[in-house]
Structure 1
Amino acid sequence: MTASLDAVERTALLTAALRAAESKRPDRLYEDPYAAALAGDIGPELLAEVRAATFPPGRERTLPSTPDYNAIRTRFFDDYLQDAAQDPAMTQIVLAPAGMDSRAYRLDWPSHVRWYEVDRPAVLAYKEEQLGAAARPRTDHRRVAVDLTSPDWERDLCDAGYDPALPSTWLLEGLLYYIPEPDTHRILQRVAAVSAPGSRIAADIVNAAALTLPHMRGLLDVFSGWGCPWLFGSDEPEELFARYGFDVRAVQPGEEGADFGRWPDPVPPRSVRDVRRVFFVHGRRS
């Protein structure tokens, strides 16, 4: 089944392997009992390549720690989505793309929440097969098997029960740096078009320097070698999202609220240029 996944889709297996590894730590930031099954055999192999590039034997680490970053990102968005779900008026949560996410299965959700997982058919088919019949979501869970580059994925989402007239919460996790800049704008525009006022959005995004700095080459070359290079970064994520009506904050791992005692590196002020950054963007549609 993994043979049907393309290069970008396989990065979801890396994420699952990272979550499985985090779940084994005594100081884990979350526990994902489904991650190992979702990672399959390929996920640990991808993770081994990332670890070899990030923690070269006999040399000081110069790349960001992917395991720590992924742990913080997962916990940050766990908390963000669960906070959004506490609002009785927030009845729709959309993961686009869903990848190997298991939040619908491993976290508790209020009964008013309807959960949508949007991803390509091959991804959702692999995921369903790996989870097996015994895995049960803890919420009203809807799979929407469609490519986000499709000209009418919004129709498929609405056919699954989504109502654009009601507030929704969107998570675009592990997506924006893999797609060209025009596609980023197109997706944000289309999400905004089906998000009622008061809707919420969250995403992760790197800055432009993260795509070009020489000391990032070790990690960038791994992803490029897999056929899924990083293609887009923004130094002003607040402005990017504001173009489409979202009033957002962008925090970096290691800053208050996005640390959890795990980020190992300094966090340069935003005024410092030519340093790699990653942002957790989160906010509302006005």
Structure 2
Amino acid sequence: MTETLDAVERTALLTAALRAAESSRQDRLYDDPYAARLAGDAGPELLAEIREATFPKNAARTLPSTPDYNAIRTRFFDDFLQQAAQDPDMHQIVLAPAGMDSRAYRLAWPSDIRYFEVDRPAVLAYKEERLRGVPPRVDHHSVAVDLTSPDWENKLVAAGYDPGLPSTWLLEGLLYYIPGDDAHRIIERVAAITKPGSRIAADIVNEAALTLPNMRGLLDVFAGWGCPWLFGSDNPEALFDEHGFTVEAAQPGDPAAAYDRWPDPVPDRAETGVRRVFFVHGSKN
């Protein structure tokens, strides 16, 4: 079924392959028993291209370590979602987009949580086929709709989401693949459908990461696949504040997002001309 996925949708198979590889490590940061079946045959092929670019045979690594980054990102957001779910006032979690994520199947959730996965129809159809026979461990709802469509909010509500109750949102692996106007619009639309006190998390790169010469090896791979990186922000706190969220932004390797796995220096926020990625997390005002 991978032939039904477009270029951006296929990046979810790369994420699944990265999670499968992490799960095979003795020092793994999490265990995803479904990642390999979600990755299929295409995911490892995509991962092989990333590894070739990131870890050249006859040269020093200049690109960020995608396997370590992905492991830290997954664990960081695992912890964020699990902590949010323990809040007695929190009953709704939304992954938008859901991609090949299996948190609904591999993590334990309180019985009062409603868990929504929003993604394009082709992605959710592929995922359903791959996970056939595997029961979710939560009250699970799939919402097959593109986040750029004019009516995804209506479909989410029709699936059981209640805008009048607090919710927790994860925008993982999304913002750098879409133009800046669309990124702002999605955050604005999420704000409009969430109650004050709701939580949000996302990953985002800085602007320099889109243009630095020493990022070209990685950027060229994604562009060659037909899914170039399009958007970054040097001040993600201000980006989300503009739409009514108060957030913090951790970099991989910061104390809150290290897990003894980040192999590179962590640049001070005042330093310019360096690549960055941020794990944004906070709540609606």
TM-score, length-scaled by structure 1: 0.99
Q: Residue type matched to 1:212 in 2? A: T
Q: Name the counterpart of 1:260.
A: 259
Supply the distance in 2 between the matched residues of 1:58 and 1:214 (Cα, whole angstroms): 19
Secondary structure in structure 1 of the residue aligned to 2:170: strand
Q: Name the counterpart of 2:270.
A: 271
Q: Name the counterpart of 1:182.
A: 181
How far does residue 125 in structure 1 lie from its aligned partner after superposition?
A: 0.3
Supply the distance in 1 between the matched residues of 2:241 and 2:284 (Cα, whole angstroms): 9
Q: Name the counterpart of 1:49.
A: 49
CA deviation string 1:101-148 (max 9, x = no partner): 000000000011000000000000000001112x11100000000010
Supply the distance in 2 between the matched residues of 1:243 and 1:169 (Cα, whole angstroms): 19
How far does residue 88 in structure 1 lie from its aligned partner after superposition?
A: 1.4
Q: Name the counterpart of 1:22.
A: 22
Residue 8, structure 1, aligned to residue 8, structure 2 = yes
Q: Residue type matched to 2:60 in 1? A: E
Q: Name the counterpart of 2:192.
A: 193
Q: Residue type matched to 1:139 in 2? A: V
Q: Name the counterpart of 1:221.
A: 220
Q: Residue type matched to 1:85 in 2? A: A
Secondary structure in structure 2 of the residue aligned to 1:117: strand
CA deviation string 1:197-229 (max 9, x = no partner): 100000000000000000000000000000000
Residue 158, structure 1, aligned to residue 157, structure 2 = yes
Supply the distance in 1 between the matched residues of 2:151 and 2:4 (Cα, whole angstroms): 23
Q: Name the counterpart of 1:230.
A: 229
Supply the distance in 2 between the matched residues of 1:107 and 1:268 (Cα, whole angstroms): 33
Q: Name the counterpart of 1:128.
A: 128
Q: Name the counterpart of 1:60.
A: 60
Q: Residue type matched to 1:115 in 2? A: Y
CA deviation string 1:222-253 (max 9, x = no partner): 00000000000000000000011100000000
Q: Residue type matched to 1:23 in 2? A: S
Q: Name the counterpart of 1:111.
A: 111
Residues matched between the structures, number: 285
How far does residue 58 in structure 1 lie from its aligned partner after superposition?
A: 1.5
Q: Name the counterpart of 2:79.
A: 79
Supply the distance in 1 between the matched residues of 2:15 and 2:85 (Cα, whole angstroms): 24
Supply the distance in 2 between the matched residues of 1:220 and 1:30 (Cα, whole angstroms): 27
Q: Which runs of 4+ in 1 moved over 3 A?
A: none
Q: Residue type matched to 1:200 in 2? A: R
Supply the distance in 2 between the matched residues of 1:71 and 1:12 (Cα, whole angstroms): 14
Supply the distance in 2 between the matched residues of 1:249 and 1:215 (Cα, whole angstroms): 27
Instruction: Tell whether the 8 Å contact from 1:167 to 1:199 is kept in structure 2 after alignment.
Output: yes
Secondary structure in structure 2 of the residue aligned to 1:150: coil
Identity %: 76
Q: Residue type matched to 1:101 in 2? A: D
Supply the distance in 1 between the matched residues of 2:181 and 2:207 (Cα, whole angstroms): 15
How far does residue 257 in structure 1 lie from its aligned partner after superposition?
A: 1.1
Secondary structure in structure 2 of the residue aligned to 1:257: helix
Supply the distance in 2 between the matched residues of 1:180 and 1:58 (Cα, whole angstroms): 35
CA deviation string 1:18-65 (max 9, x = no partner): 000000000000000000000000000000000000000021000000
CA deviation string 1:69-104 (max 9, x = no partner): 000000000000000000111000000000000000
Instruction: Tell whether the 8 Å contact from 1:88 to 1:112 is kept in structure 2 after alignment.
Output: no
Instruction: Tell whether the 8 Å contact from 1:205 to 1:281 is kept in structure 2 after alignment.
Output: yes
Supply the distance in 2 between the matched residues of 1:148 and 1:246 (Cα, whole angstroms): 19
Q: Residue type matched to 2:220 in 1? A: D
Supply the distance in 2 between the matched residues of 1:18 and 1:10 (Cα, whole angstroms): 13
Q: Name the counterpart of 1:249.
A: 248
Q: Name the counterpart of 2:283.
A: 284
Residue 206, structure 1, aligned to residue 205, structure 2 = yes
